[in-house]
Amino acid sequence: MTPVREFLYFLILLTIFSVLLFLWKAEKEIPASALVVQEPIPTLVQKTSSPDDTLNTQKIEQALAEIPATQQPAAGLFHPVPLIFAEDDSLRFQLLERQLQQAAQSNLPVRVIYFGDSQIENDRITSALRTQLQAHFTGKGPGFVPLDLYYNVRHKLHIETSKNWEIKTFQHKDFINESLLFKNALLTSANAEGWFRIRRIKRLNPAPDYQLMKLYYTAKDSCLVTVMQGRDLIYSGYLLPQHQISTLDFQFNRTPDDIRFDFAAKDSLNIAGLSLETGSGVLVDNIALRGLSYPTFESSNQAAIVQMLRQVNVGLFVLHFGVNLVPVQADDYPNFRRNFQRQIDFLKRVSTDTPILIIGVSDMAQMHNGEFVSYPNIPVIKRIQYEIAMQNHAAFWDLQASMGGQGAMSRWVNADPALGRADYVHFSDEGAEIVGQELSRILLEALQTPADTLAHD
Amino acid sequence: MIEHLRDIIESIWQYHPDEPLFYTGLAFWIAFTFVLGVYSLVYRKNSLRNGYLLLVSWFIYFQMSGAFLALLAFSCLANYGFGLLVHRRKFKKMWLAVAVALNLLILGYFKYTYFFVDTINQLFQTDYQVFNWIGWLLNQVARDVVDEHSIMLPIGISFYTFQAISYLVDVFRGDADVVKNPLDFSFYLSFFPQLVAGPIVRASSFIPQLYQKFSLKKKEFSHAIFLITKGLFKKMVIADFLALNFVDRVFEAPLAYSGLENLLSVYAYSIQIYCDFSGYTDIAIGLALILGFKIPVNFNAPYQASSLTDFWHRWHISLSLWLRDYLYIPLGGNRKGVVRMYVNLLVTMILGGLWHGANLRFLIWGAIHGLGLALEKLFRRAFLLGAKPTGWKKLLSVFVTFQVVSLAWIFFRARDYSTIQQLFYQIRYHFLPQNLMAGWESYQWVILVFLMGLLIIWVPNRYKEKLRGAFIALPAWMQIPAVLIVLMLIALVAQTGLQPFIYFRF
């Protein structure tokens, strides 16, 4: 074998391969027009129309025009994009502002109840938001946490449970959810004893945190509860039968490092959630619903959720969904529109004056011809979210635009440190931190702007 | 197509730090074909051939590493000079010490400065910043060519430094002849197929080849083609696919996945790193062979090892031998008592771990292997166990060894301690096997590639040999379509979008 022959061998091989590759790519090529993604916001505004739409679209368009161009990030990857309110929404966040101003003195902490999909799993985004808001308005603790195996990096705590708990979520079709957290921990007569333990990870030197622990539960019959703090028995008593969601509260002088609850139930006991908090200030509750495009209040036991909501002081509902819808390509999403609206109707029925913030779908990429490009339907989903927000006098935050618009996720994944995960869907911890901080910044900005000034802008 | 070709040719000639000329790109193979074309004109005369291949190697290194070519050239010249000095009768030991120290100093400067500064800052609560003194010196000559506040790691520095040290020690010991022609020595240190990721080639086996005429049998050429195709398949179909669609995702957010997914990602990483590294080595050996040079085998079915000792006889063999010959034995090996032997093992493996990367994680990885090897020897002595188990004992040993090796890989792959903690937490508390079963539809491609990976690592060598033999026996006109099918499969996988998350839900 001589190098000449080797050369010819390689030449033939490469030529055929290149031709085959070219033919294959030419066949795969999608006409450029199919991939053109419409400029999200202007289109979105123009298409806003509905029977009860009283928006002055011109004004909004004007406000949106002030948003910086999203195509070419200048200094950083994040682009400040303000919240958008409906033109005739004169209240905006006034009530929230009032609640927050009094938060430090109030008996009940003001809660920002943040519903989202897997983008917020493991307290991502919400932990940064919580840190910022609690720095401004006091308060400590992660807020609501489900009774399940749980690990929180920011709060340096983890929850262990015995195996006898039956954990039921919205994914269980034969079960009607009774918790605002969409996760229920059940003990039944057949399986009557269980425990859970909340431990702070001492090795990580956790800072002082929550001092109040609330257990939200219903019980069909009495249930013996024993509570140990470290090795000390601090409580032993019976929970009385409660068909409505009630709470069992424990106040501590300082954050307990290790606390264990033992239950012996005569009949069904459902723990709808825990709240680790302080008696005042602000809390940000992370309610992560992987796989959903909206919280499914409709298919839940609404009465139970209402009972839970009535016991807390909600300052703001945040709805952060959309990435589950993106892989389903369509020109319109009537079912999503209808169902999303129904959930908002529920929240408004329960808590009429509580403002709602809808966060638009984040950017998300798929591979096309060897490159990661944004899904073309993201503007469509975002438009629907925006329209629903405006029709319901909810605030809207264009997260995709804040990330840098079309192609943003690809840039975020390739940033150093990476701000997006390798699946081109989720934020990395660093990315989630940035989103949470930016959200808190624009929230504080919106709170500091007098509503009257904005209304007559 | 012409425009695409123009882009490729442009990428061959111009240095793109983000897109280095590498085996996984079409540009490299077009460049290599061109190199072969010219090679066919120069291969008959050894000096011309070696000079030409040196130029090609430096050009390819420049395309990968840019200005660090100067460092490689410096290393070639300095070690060539030290080789001559060590070869002299006077002050041999001193010259060897100076040469090894200089090599380690350069390696330490580029690879371990951040590690040392960070460690000192953590230990003493200081805030020292890294300053690139070499960059500063260069900037005095030519303005602003280097960022003085950061130190970049030159590609392949660990490999060519170890190769240079092995040459100097071999010359000192009389195990290798000194190379008198600087171009020949530079070629030995810079030969592009093995330059950036090994194998670490010994002077005694490579230098004599520099003076031999080009000779390649048809079977050897076919073997080279088989190795290259196999290497590309392992790297681009198995390793890259698993990394992109499974391993990277789980390791960057372990809490987002069930314990079973975390555990499988650990095994998948074992497959990924093997297919990646051994795939690279297969290509390197194949390329060298096509150019008429033989470089040693670096992997021999390592996951079929029945013990850690056996594993290190099969995994990155050239490094294992290097560590044995130039570190473990000089430390005393097993000649100074049992306790000392265990200590030597541990020290060798810890330093071997640090060679892979400047981070505590690599040190832990090395320590796990060191401790494992020590314990293994201890048990073997205590229970008088044979070196090679058979039957079910062998199966059990292979299984246990794979578990230990995979466990150690976690420290190799995880970004930080928190990731490791989260991964173990999920495995312990959130195993949830039902999630994977429920997500079968969206995971099926990942599982298929995972199973293919398992097949590659565990299929007995005799079957692999049969496949290789069958390919080699084919005439060229039948080999080309077979290779093309694999290449198209690689292209297909490379173009495939991300596989969806479990349930296709986020």
Q: What's chain A's average pLDDT?
A: 85
Contacts of A21 by beta carbon, 8 Å cutoff, 6+ apart: B26, B488, B491
Token pair of B345, please? 């093992």
> What secondary structure letter does DSSP report for B68?
G
Q: With contacts defined as CB-CB under 8 Å, which chain A residues touch B253? A: 122, 421, 426, 428-429
Distance from CA of A194 to the nearest CA of B (A): 16
Domain identity same for B151 and B271? no
E strand map for A344-394: 356-359, 365-368, 371-374
Q: Is B437 on the interface with A (CB under 8 A)?
A: no
DSSP 8-state secondary structure symbol assigned to residue A87: T
- Evaluate the CA torsion angle B249, B252, B257, B258 in order and state its sign: positive
Domain membership flag for residue B461: yes
Among A80, A83, A81, A86, smallest CA distance to A48 is for: A86
CB B330 within 8 A of CB B484: no
Omega before residue A208 within 30° of 0, cis = no
Q: What is the mean pLDDT of the segment spanning B402-408?
A: 95
Residue type, B394: K
- CB-based contact A141:A209 (threshold 8 Å): yes
pLDDT above 70: residue B358: yes
| pLDDT at residue A451, rounded to an integer | 53
Percent of chain A with pLDDT over 70: 87
Residue A450: pLDDT band with limits 50, 70, 90: low
Tell me the shortest Cα–Cα distance from B328 to chain A, in angstroms.
36
Q: How confident is the model at residue B254 (pLDDT cuts 50, 70, 90)?
A: confident
Asked if domains A39-139+280-457 and A142-278 share a fold, the reply is no
Interval B396-407 mean pLDDT: 94
Is the Cβ–Cβ distance between A177 and A184 less than 8 Å?
yes
| Full domain range(s) for residue B441 | 219-305+422-504
Residue B171 CA: distances (Å) to CA of B166, B191, B202, B264: 8, 20, 11, 47
Mutate to test the interface with A, among B213, B220, B431, B506 (most CBs of A within 10 A): B506
Shortest Cα distance from A208 to chain B (angstroms)?
21
Domain boundary pick from B214, B248, B278: B214
Q: CB under 8 Å, gap of 24 or more: what pairs does A437-442 form?
A: A437/A128, A437/A129, A437/A132, A438/A78, A438/A80, A438/A402, A439/A125, A439/A128, A439/A129, A439/A359, A439/A397, A440/A128, A440/A129, A440/A132, A440/A133, A441/A80, A441/A132, A442/A80, A442/A81, A442/A82, A442/A83, A442/A397
For the record, the structure tokens of B261 come out as: 């997914």
Q: What does the pLDDT look like over A412-448, one tens digit per residue?
A: 998 888 899 888 899 998 999 999 999 999 999 888 7
- CA end-to-end span of chain A, whole Å? 82
Query: How does DSSP assign B189-257, residue by residue?
Result: HH-HHHHTT-----HHHHHHHHTSPP---HHHHHHHHHHHHHHHIIIIIIIHHHIIIIIHHHHH-GGGS
Band (A29; pLDDT cuts 50, 70, 90): low
Among residues A205, A218, A213, the alpha carbon closest in space to that of A229 is found at: A213
* Residue scoring higher pLDDT (B501 or B157): B157
Provide the pLDDT for residue B185: 93
B39 touches chain A (CB under 8 A): yes
B245 vs chain A: nearest CA distance in angstroms?
Answer: 7
The answer to whether B505 contacts chain A (CB < 8 Å) is yes
Alpha helices in B68-127 (DSSP H): 69-87, 92-124
Q: Verify that B295 and B193 share a domain, yes or no.
A: no
Statement to judge: residues B239 and B200 lie in one domain: no
Domain check: are B53 and B202 in the same one?
A: yes
Q: Are residues B101 and B226 in the same domain?
A: no
Residue A232 has pLDDT above 50, yes or no: yes
Q: Considering only residues B116 and B15, tell me which one the structure prediction assigns the higher pLDDT.
A: B116
Percent of residues, chain B, with pLDDT higher than 70? 94
Rounded to a whole number, what is the distance in angstroms from the first to the last CA of chain B?
Answer: 38
Yes or no, beta carbons of A158 and B418 under 8 Å apart? no
B445 CB within 8 Å of a chain A CB: no
Q: Which two tokens stand for residue A234?
A: 């601090």
Distance of CA B272 to the CA centre of its chain: 13
Residues A142-278, CATH architecture:
Sandwich (2.60)
Same domain, B205 and B234: no
Identity of the residue in B216, B256, B498 whose CB atom sits nearest the CB atom of A367: B498
Closest Cα to residue A353, out of A152, A89, A101, A137?
A89
The string of DSSP letters for A173-219 reads: TT-----TTSEEEEEBTTB-EEEEEEEE-GGG-PPS---EEEEEEEE
In this structure, are residues B155 and B198 in contact, taking their beta carbons and an 8 Å threshold?
no
Q: Is B356 a catalytic residue?
A: yes
Q: Which residues of B touch A119 (CB under 8 A)?
A: 506
Q: Count the alpha carbons within 13 Å of A3 in the hemisphere toward its beta carbon.
A: 22
pLDDT at A65 over 80: no
Tokens of A446: 């919106």
- The predicted complex's ipTM stands at 0.83
> Which of these three, B182, B214, B246, is where a domain ends?
B214
Is B296 a domain residue? yes
At B63 the pLDDT is 87
Rounded to an integer, the average pLDDT of A43-53 is 35
**Least Cα separation, residue A205 to chain B (angstroms):** 14
E strands of A59-192, at which residues?
110-116, 143-145, 150-152, 157-161, 166-169, 183-187
Whether B249 sits inside 8 A of A421 (CB atoms) is: yes
Write down the pLDDT at residue A74.
34
Top CATH class of A39-139+280-457 equals alpha beta
Cα separation, B58 vs B41, whole angstroms:
20
CB pairs under 8 A between A and B: 120
Which token pair is A244?
A: 């409505």
Q: Is residue B254 part of a domain?
A: yes
pLDDT of B498: 53
Instruction: Say yes or no to pLDDT of B7 above 90.
Output: no
Q: B495: which chain A residues are within 8 Å (Cβ-Cβ)?
A: 28, 367, 369-370
Distance separating alpha carbons of residues B136 and B146, to the nearest angstrom: 7
Q: How confident is the model at residue B389 (pLDDT cuts 50, 70, 90)?
A: confident
Closest-CA residue to A344 (of A309, A300, A392, A299):
A392
B270-326 per-position pLDDT tens digit: 999 999 999 999 999 999 999 999 999 999 999 999 999 999 999 999 999 999 999
Range name among A205-214, B143-152, B172-181, B237-246 with the lowest pLDDT average: B143-152
Sequence letter at residue B292: G
The whole-number pLDDT of residue B484 equals 94
Place of tokens 């590309």: B232
Give me the number of domains chain B comprises.
2
What mean pLDDT is predicted for residues A282-307? Answer: 93
Average the pLDDT over each of A36-50, A170-184, B337-351, B478-492 and give the range with the smallest value. Answer: A36-50
Q: Please provide residue B155's backbone torsions phi and psi, each rounded to the nearest 5 degrees.
A: -60, 135
Same domain, B192 and B89: yes
- Residue A165: CB atoms within 10 A of its CB come to 21
According to the model, what pLDDT value does residue A58 have? Answer: 45
Closest-CA distance, A105 to chain B, in angstroms, reads 36
Residue B466 has a CB neighbour count (10 Å cut-off) of 11
Compute how many other C-beta atoms are within 10 angstroms of the C-beta atom of residue A226.
Answer: 15
With a cut of 80, say whether residue B412 has pLDDT above it: yes
Q: Among all chains, which residue has been given the structure tokens 């000449």?
A: A4
For chain A, domain boundaries: 39-139+280-457, 142-278
Q: Do B255 and A121 touch (CB under 8 A)?
A: yes
Query: Ranked by mean pLDDT, which of A179-183, B91-95, B354-358 comes out on top?
Result: A179-183
CA Rg, chain B, in Å?
Answer: 24
Is B376 a member of any domain? no
> In this complex, do A160 and B248 lie within 8 Å of one another by their Cβ atoms?
no
- Closest C-alpha to A289, from A267, A315, A322: A322
Q: Which residue has the higher pLDDT, B493 or A119?
A: A119
Mutation choice for B interface testing from A17, A117, A154 by most B CBs within 10 A: A17
Asked if A420 contacts A426 with a C-beta cutoff of 8 angstroms, the reply is yes
Residue B396: inside a domain, yes or no? no
Residue B195 and residue B244 in one domain: no
Residue B437's pLDDT is 66
B366 in a structural domain: no
B451 pLDDT more than 90: yes
> Which pLDDT score, from 0 to 100, does residue B262 have?
92
- C-beta atoms of A9 and B503 within 8 A: no
Angle at B52 between CA B49 and CA B57, to 5 degrees: 120
Which residues are paired to B306 by β-bridges? Answer: none
- Cβ of A149 within 8 Å of Cβ of B429? The answer is yes
Q: Per the residue annotation, which of B149, B356, B369, B430 is the catalytic one?
A: B356
In this structure, the answer to whether residues B69 and B186 fall within a common structural domain is: yes
pLDDT (average), residues B467-471: 93
* Cβ atoms < 10 Å from Cβ of A67: 16
Q: What is the pLDDT of residue B398?
A: 93
Indicate whether A352 pLDDT > 50.
yes
Give yes or no for B221 touching A (CB within 8 A).
Answer: yes
Asked if the structure places residue B348 within a domain, the reply is no
Alpha-carbon distance B356 to B354, whole Å? 5
Amino acid identity of residue B243, one-letter, is A
Contact B495 A418 (CB under 8 A): no
A110-116 and A313-320 strand pairing = parallel
The per-residue pLDDT of chain B, averaged, comes to 88
Residues B210 and B225 in one domain: no
Same domain, B93 and B203: yes
Question: Tens digit of pLDDT for each residue in B379-388?
Answer: 888 877 766 7
Chain-chain contact of B506 with A118 (C-beta, under 8 angstroms)? yes
Would you state the pLDDT for residue A64? 35
Query: Looking at the structure, do residues B182 and B294 belong to the same domain, yes or no?
Result: no
* pLDDT of the residue at A67: 36
Percent of chain B with pLDDT over 90: 53
Instruction: Indicate whether B161 belongs to any domain.
Output: yes
Nearest to A7 among B5, B30, B33 (CB): B33
Q: Which residues of A touch B218 (CB under 8 A)?
A: 1
Considering CB atoms only, which of A3, A9, A17 is closest to B43?
A3
- Separation CA A77–CA A74 (nearest Å): 8
* DSSP state at residue A220: S
The yes-or-no verdict on residue B203 having pLDDT over 70 is: yes
Residues of chain A contacting B445 with CB distance shorter than 8 Å: none
pLDDT of B42 strictly over 70: yes
- What single DSSP character describes residue A427? B
pLDDT tens, residue by residue, A104-154:
888 899 999 999 999 999 899 999 999 999 999 999 999 999 999 888 888
Residue where a domain stops, chosen among B162, B196, B214: B214
SS3 readout for B355-420: HHCCCHHHHHHHHHHHHHHHHHHHHHHHCCCCCCCCHHHHHHHHHHHHHHHHHHHHHHHCCCHHHH
pLDDT confidence bin for B337, thresholds 50/70/90:
confident
Q: Does the pLDDT of residue B15 top 90, yes or no?
A: no
pLDDT for the residue numbered B446: 87
Cα-to-chain-centroid distance, residue A194: 30
Find out whether A298 and A177 touch, Cβ atoms under 8 Å: no
| Cβ B474 vs Cβ B226: under 8 Å | no
Would you call B506 and A12 a contact, using CB atoms and an 8 Å cutoff?
A: no
The pLDDT value recorded for residue B280 is 92
**What is the per-residue pLDDT for B8?**
76
